[in-house]
Structure 1
Amino acid sequence: MAFSTQDSDEVLSEINVTPLVDVMLVLLVVFIVTAPLLTNAIPINLPKTEAVAPPEQKDPLVVSLDGAGTLFLGKEEIQPEQLEGRLADAKARDAELRVQLQADDGVNYGEVARAMAAIERAGITRLAVITAR
């Protein structure tokens, strides 16, 4: 603590932060202790229901590029020029069509970009790019 003497008329300009730190630590302990108690403050008996099956989702259409740059739609090998037309036909049959794009990490990025552009031109807005962890 800083004490001033009676014979000195100078103003003490140092702030003692120790009491502030003590108060903040006490508040922190109070919040740590009370926070878990706040989550179960109101006891509620929830009604029992029967399990409901989740809505059925259609499998996405998979567009794949292997290491050699060969393009596949599902399991079928196609030419890059055919991709946009085939996807547009699939989009016409299903307005909620989802597409997954998988590409080997050795494929030139230009091939992947061309496939993505064809998917966009076909009107597909739900595209997922699949990667390995």
Structure 2
Amino acid sequence: MSEGVKEENQLYDEINITPMLDLAYVLLVIFIIMTTASVQGVKVETPVTQATAPLAKPKMRAITITSDGSVYLDAYPVDMATLEQRLAEYKSGNPSLPVVLKADAVAHFDKVSEVLGICKKLDITEVGLVTKKQAG
């Protein structure tokens, strides 16, 4: 054979990992999208009422009370002291701070009453209660 022609049965010295890296990047992107899509808030079963009005105001804070009595402020778990402290901070930055209270239909009324008491103590007057509109 001539010296300028390579032999076709020559062994490879290195492995091409580009396709494997492409697959790893695609899986990473899918994982990131799926995990951020699943963290949207706290799921509760709201009570049913006759009429509802939309509450869409900027810089609104959401307080959620679950069926087991856990309290969340903007999807972050808080106790009553922390809730009062953070609402006071938000109120100092926005005097007409609107708050939405979203409680599970089977939540204990004492938790709802305690949260409303904190809002009254901090002079938060714009408090909305989230409910479902009754069908029919």
Give the TM interval when normalised to the shorter protein. Answer: 0.5 to 0.7
Amino acid at match of 1:118: I
1:92 matches 2:116 = no
Partner SS state of residue 87, structure 2: helix
Secondary structure, counterpart of 2:58 in structure 1: coil
Tell me the distance in 2 between the aligned counterparts of 1:119 and 1:83.
10
Runs of 4+ off more than 4 Å: none
- Confirm or deny: 8 A CA contact 1:88 1:123 kept in the other structure: no
For normalisation by structure 1, the TM-score amounts to 0.55
For 1:120 and 1:76, locate their aligned partners in 2 and report how far apart those are by CA, in whole Å. Answer: 22
Corresponding position of 2:58: 58
Structure 2 counterpart of 1:130 = 130
TM-superposed deviation, 1:81: 2.0
The alignment's TM-score, normalised by the length of structure 2, stands at: 0.54
Structure 1 segments unaligned to the other structure (5+ residues): 1-56
Give how far 1:79 is off: 0.8
Structure 1 residue 62: deviation in Å?
Answer: 0.4
The superposition leaves residues 5-25 of structure 1 with CA deviations (integer Å, 9 ceiling, x where unpaired) of xxxxxxxxxxxxxxxxxxxxx
Which residue is equivalent to 2:108?
108
RMSD of Structure 2 on Structure 1 (CA): 1.6
Letter in 2 for 1:116: L
| Sequence identity (%) | 22
Structure 1: distance between partners of 2:95 and 2:75 = 22
Greater length-normalized contact order (CA 8 Å, ≥ 6 residues apart): 2
User: Structure 2: which 5+ residue stretches go unaligned?
Assistant: 1-56
Aligned partners of 1:85 and 1:122 also within 8 Å: no
Whole-angstrom CA distance in 2 between matches of 1:106 and 1:77:
19
Q: Take 1:82 and 1:118, find their aligned partners in 2: how far apart are those partners? A: 11
